[in-house]
């Protein structure tokens, strides 16, 4: 009896160590492009928890993005899970250019990320209707891609300093050194109908709704052209979501930021950050409100 009691105590201690920590997951299913998965499990998990996928920028890792963002402490308060993946190729940039990644279950990075989500839902009994994706720079670009390629899996996205889904299509790579610079330089301009058609071709036959979207970009971004890419993202998602511009809210959520509202503000909002370069600081509490987690 005493030995059994010690085993129970040991298991409880192990669970306490695992919870409230970033855990590496070696096998989360098919991983065609060799991504790495880590997941933050809060100290107290909600029943059927929500899932946030947080994507680092070029040159980064999931571990670094975990240290940079406040999602873990907010997860401890709100009980959701945070997946922090890593892209170990092409200067640690996400593949947002290849046909593999821009196709449903095509064998690219988006495919591996989708399998991380499926693993998390199955392992932690997470709510499949409460899966959210966010990311910075290359991670913002992949956020757009995930929302375009897996619209039935993602409920909402929050993009920081990204480009439209499909903007880099056909480029030889996704890093600053290997990608065609036309997209980052703002030379890829399309009509709304063209963007919508390109996204719908990523998941042929899909007739459901697309994730609601929140877009952030700094006016002084000299790395990913603000003037075109901010507007092209809005063009893409306003078309997919069927909403039009309604109004600006100045100094929202802070001084120097302008919130642009589309429709009734429940499907698409965009934030223009005056004087902010690459990248816009992550606004975690705004993200959680957008995701419906606070």
The model's pTM: 0.93
Q: Report the pLDDT value the prediction gives residue 209, as an integer from 0 to 100.
A: 98
| Residue 133 to residue 213: CA distance in whole angstroms | 10
| Residue 158 to residue 135: CA distance in whole angstroms | 7
| Residue 1 to residue 277: CA distance in whole angstroms | 63
| pLDDT tens-place string over residues 219-240 | 999 999 999 999 999 999 999 9
Parallel, antiparallel or unpaired: strands 51-55 and 212-218: unpaired
Q: Report the pLDDT value the prediction gives residue 129, as an integer from 0 to 100.
A: 98
Tell me how far apart the terminal alpha carbons of the chain are, to the nearest angstrom.
44
| Residue 233 to residue 112: CA distance in whole angstroms | 24
Mean pLDDT of 117-140: 98
| pLDDT tens-place string over residues 263-274 | 999 999 999 999
User: What percent helix, strand, coil does the chain show, rounded to 5?
Assistant: 30, 20, 50
Q: Report the pLDDT value the prediction gives residue 18, as an integer from 0 to 100.
A: 57
φ and ψ at residue 216, rounded to 5 degrees: -120, 140
Burial (CB < 10 A; 0-12, 13-18, 19+), residue 265, is middle
| pLDDT tens-place string over residues 76-103 | 999 999 999 999 999 999 999 999 999 9
Q: Give 5's pLDDT tier (boundaries 50, 70, 90).
A: very low
| Residue 290 to residue 3: CA distance in whole angstroms | 49
Cis (ω within 30 of 0) for the bond into 279? yes
Q: Report the pLDDT value the prediction gives residue 20, as an integer from 0 to 100.
A: 77
Distances (CA, A) of 202 to 38, 205, 222: 27, 10, 29
| Residue 220 to residue 74: CA distance in whole angstroms | 29
Q: Which has the closest alpha carbon to 152: 209, 107, 214, 204? A: 209
| Residue 252 to residue 288: CA distance in whole angstroms | 16
| Residue 181 to residue 232: CA distance in whole angstroms | 16
Active-site residue set: 137
């Amino acid at each position: 009896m005493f030995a059994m009691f010690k085993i129970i105590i040991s298991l409880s201690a192990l669970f306490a160590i695992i919870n409230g920590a970033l855990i590496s997951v070696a096998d989360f299913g098919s991983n065609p492009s060799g991504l790495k998965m880590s997941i933050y499990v809060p100290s107290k998990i909600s029943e059927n928890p929500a899932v946030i996928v947080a994507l680092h920028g070029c040159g980064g890792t999931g571990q670094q993005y975990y240290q940079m963002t406040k999602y873990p402490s907010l997860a401890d308060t709100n009980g959701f899970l945070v997946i922090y993946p890593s892209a170990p190729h092409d200067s640690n940039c996400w593949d947002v250019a290849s046909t593999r990644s821009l196709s449903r279950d095509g064998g690219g990075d988006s495919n591996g990320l989708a399998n991380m989500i499926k693993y998390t839902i199955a392992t932690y009994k997470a709510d499949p209707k409460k899966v959210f994706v966010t990311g910075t720079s290359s991670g913002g670009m992949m956020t757009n891609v995930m929302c375009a390629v897996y619209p039935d899996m993602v409920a909402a996205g929050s993009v920081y300093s990204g480009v439209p889904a499909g903007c880099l299509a056909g480029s030889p790579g996704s890093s600053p050194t290997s990608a065609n610079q036309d997209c980052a330089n703002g030379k890829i301009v399309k009509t709304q109908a063209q963007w919508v058609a390109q996204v719908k071709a990523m998941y042929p036959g899909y007739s459901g709704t697309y994730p609601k979207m929140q877009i952030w970009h700094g006016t002084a971004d000299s790395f990913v052209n603000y003037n075109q890419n901010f507007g092209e993202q809005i063009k893409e998602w306003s078309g997919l979501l069927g909403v039009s511009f309604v109004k600006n809210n100045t100094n929202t959520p802070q001084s120097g930021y302008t919130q642009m509202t589309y429709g009734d503000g429940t499907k698409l909002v965009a934030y223009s950050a005056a004087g902010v370069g690459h990248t816009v600081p992550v606004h975690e509490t705004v993200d959680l409100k957008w995701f419906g987690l606070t």
